[in-house]
Amino acid sequence: MTTEGTFRRILPVVTLVLALLTGIVAGSGSLYLSGAPDLVAAINGTNEFSPGSEQDIVIHVRNTGVDEVKISQPDGGASGDPPSTARMVTLTLLPGNAPVEIKTNSQMVGDIASGKEVFSTFSVHVNKDAAGGTYLLPLLANYTYLASEEKVGSDSVIFRYNTETVRLDLPFNVRDEVIIAVHHVIAEDLNAGGDGYITLSIENTGTLTGNNTIARIFQGDASPIVPIDGRVFIGSFPPGTVETVRFKVRVDEKAGEEQYPIHVAVEYRDQSGGTLLSPAVTTGVQVVGKTGFTVIEKPLLIYQDSHEIIEVEYENTGATTVYSAQARISAVDPFVAYDDTSFLGDLAPGDKAVAQFEIGVDKTATIKEYGLDTEIRYRDSMDANRISDPMQVSISVRERTGVLRILYNPVLMSIIIGIVIGGVYYFYVHKRRKPERPEE
C-alpha cells in the first residue's frame, strides 16, 4: 500500500474531525462521535433444571458498550447521557422453543451505564414431559439511548434519542430424565369393598434409560383405591419403551360407580447410580360400584304352629359376576329355621335365582307381617369370600279358618277322632247285643 493511497483513505476522517473541532471552538460543550449500548446476558448460578420443576432463575445483564470518541472543550459544557448508556431498560423473558412456561411478566430494571450490570429474577416452570437437552430462552431488552446531540446557538443543545429492542438468547438446560406416559388402564371387575387388579401400559417418553426400574402406584387424593402391591419390577427402561405392569389394589366399600385417581411413577437409577423418582402421572381408574342383590317381592305366608318350605327369589343388581352364591335366612322368634341356607350358583349381572328355606312359626305368633333378614355369601373374581348387605324377606303369619282351623288344631282333631271312634264302637257293640227275633 502506497503513502498516497493511505493519505486518500484518511483524508475524509481528518476533514470531519477538523470540521467538528471548528464547531466546538465556535461554542462550548461536548460531543460524542461514536458509542452505543452493548448488552450481554446470562443465567446466574445453576443452569440445569428437572422436568416438572418450577424455579426462580436470576438473569445477569451487563452493558459492555463504550463511547469510542468524545470531543469536549477545556471549559467543559453540558452534555446528554453517553450514547453507551441504556436508559429505562425493560426485560421480557420468552419461552421460545423451550418446554417451559414463564410465570413472571416484563420487568423494568432502570438505566444501565457502560460497565454496569443488573440482576433480574424470573419464575420458570419446566413442563413435566420436557425432553432433556439445551434450549434457548429469548430475552428481549427494550431501552432508549442517545443517538446524537446538536449545538444550537451559544447555549442550547438538542439531544436525539432512539428506542431499540435487542434479543439476547439464554442457553437453558433440561436434565435427561425418565418421564412416563400412561396409555392404557384396565380395571378387572374392580368393585367397592373388594380387591382387584389394575393393568397399565407405561411408556418412557424421556431421554434417559432407567436402570433397575420399578413401576409404582400411589393412592390419589381422597381416592378409595388403595394399593396392596404397588411395586412392579421392570429393569432396564430405555426411551420409547412401553411396559405393561399389573398392580393389586383394594377398593373402599364406600366407593361409588365412577372413576377415581391414582398416581403412577417409576423409580430408577441414573447413569451415576443415584436413585430417582420420575414425575408422577395421574390417571383415572373405573370402579363399577358395589356388588348388589335385591329380593324380588312376592306374597309369602305361613300359618301359626306350622312349618313350611318357602321360596325366595334374588336378583344380582351389581355390575360383576358372583360365584358359588349361597343365600341364608335368619329366623328369629317366633320363627324357627329347619333349613336356613340354599345354594344359588354363579350369577351374572341381571341373573335371578330362587332359594328354598324350611321354616316354622310358633302357635302363639302374633298375626301380622314379619321381616326376616337374609344375605348372600359368594366368591368374587379374586376368589375371595364376600357377604352382601343384609336384605329383608317379608312373611305374613296367618290364622287358619273354617275346616282348616279344625284340621290343623290337634285338640279339636283329637276330640273329633275320639267321637268318631266312640260312635263306631257304640254302633258295633249295640248291633251285636241286639236280640234276634224268633221265626214264625
Alpha-carbon distances, residue 382 vs 119, 191, 193, 258, 349 (angstroms)? 62, 11, 12, 21, 17
**Mean pLDDT of all residues in 142-163:** 81
pLDDT, residue 138, reads: 97
Residue 23: predicted pLDDT: 45
pLDDT band at 409 (very low <50, low <70, confident <90, very high): low
Q: What is the mean pLDDT of residues 4-28?
A: 45
The answer to whether the bond into 171 is cis (omega within 30° of 0) is no
More confident site: 410 or 367 = 367
The residue with cell 451505564 is 113
CA distance 335 to 302: 10
Distances in Å between the Cα of 339 and the Cα atoms of 146, 308, 324, 329, 357 are 106, 10, 18, 9, 6
Average pLDDT over residues 110-131: 92
- DSSP codes, 110-124: EEE-TT-EEEEEEEE
CATH number of 180-288: 2.60.40.10
Counting residues of the chain whose pLDDT is more than 70, the rounded percentage is: 82
Cβ distance 374 to 405 under 8 Å?
no
* Angle in degrees, CA 410, 412, 416, rounded to 5: 110
The domain locations on the chain are 28-174, 180-288, 293-399, 404-432
Q: What is the pLDDT of residue 131?
A: 85
- Name the residue among 291, 281, 262 with its Cα closest to residue 195: 291
Task: Sheet containing 293-296: give its strands across.
Answer: 293-296, 306-316, 352-361, 335-339
Alpha carbons 264 and 261: distance in angstroms, whole number: 10
> CATH topology of 28-174 equal to that of 293-399?
yes
Taking the C-alpha atoms of residue 252 and residue 249, their distance in angstroms, rounded to an integer, is 10
pLDDT of residue 129: 81
To the nearest 10°, report the CA torsion of 98, 104, 110, 115: -40
Q: Are 169 and 139 in contact (CB under 8 A)?
A: yes
DSSP string, 176-235: ----EEEEEEEEES--BTSEEEEEEEEEE-SSSPEEEEEEEEEEPTT-SEEEEE-EEEEE
pLDDT at 225 over 90: yes
pLDDT, mean of residues 122-142: 92
User: In the structure, what pLDDT confidence band is assigned to residue 156 with cuts at 50, 70 and 90?
Assistant: confident
Q: What is the pLDDT of residues 286-338, one digit of tens each?
A: 998 888 899 998 889 998 888 899 999 999 998 889 999 999 999 999 999 99
Region of poorest pLDDT, from 40-44, 182-186, 290-294, 372-376: 290-294
Alpha carbons 254 and 289: distance in angstroms, whole number: 9
Residue 70 confidence (pLDDT) = 62
CA angle 412, 416, 418 (to 5 degrees): 115
pLDDT at residue 22 in the model: 45
Q: For the chain, give the mean pLDDT.
A: 84
Residue 214, classified by CB atoms within 10 Å of its CB into exposed (0-12), middle (13-18) or buried (19+), is: buried
In angstroms, the CA 36 to CA 292 distance is: 81
56-65, 138-147, 271-280, 414-423: the lowest-pLDDT one: 414-423
CATH architecture of 293-399: Sandwich (2.60)
pLDDT value at position 24? 42
CA atoms within 13 A on the CB side of 196: 25
Higher pLDDT pick, 236 / 20: 236
Contacts of 70 (CB under 8 A, 6+ apart): 30, 31, 32, 33, 35, 82
Lowest mean pLDDT among 47-56, 222-231, 406-415: 406-415
What is the mean predicted confidence (pLDDT) over 140-147?
92
User: Could you tell me which residue, 418 or 52, shows the higher pLDDT?
Assistant: 52
Share of the chain above pLDDT 90, in %: 56
Question: pLDDT higher for 312 or 4?
Answer: 312
- Spatial distance between the Cα atoms of 301 and 368, rounded to a whole number of angstroms: 10
Q: Do 34 and 20 form a contact (C-beta atoms < 8 A)?
A: no
Give the model confidence (pLDDT) of 349-406 as tens digits. Answer: 999 999 999 999 998 889 999 999 999 999 988 888 999 999 999 999 988 765 455 5
- Per CATH, the architecture of 28-174 is what? Sandwich (2.60)
Angstrom distance (rounded) from CA 115 to CA 113: 6
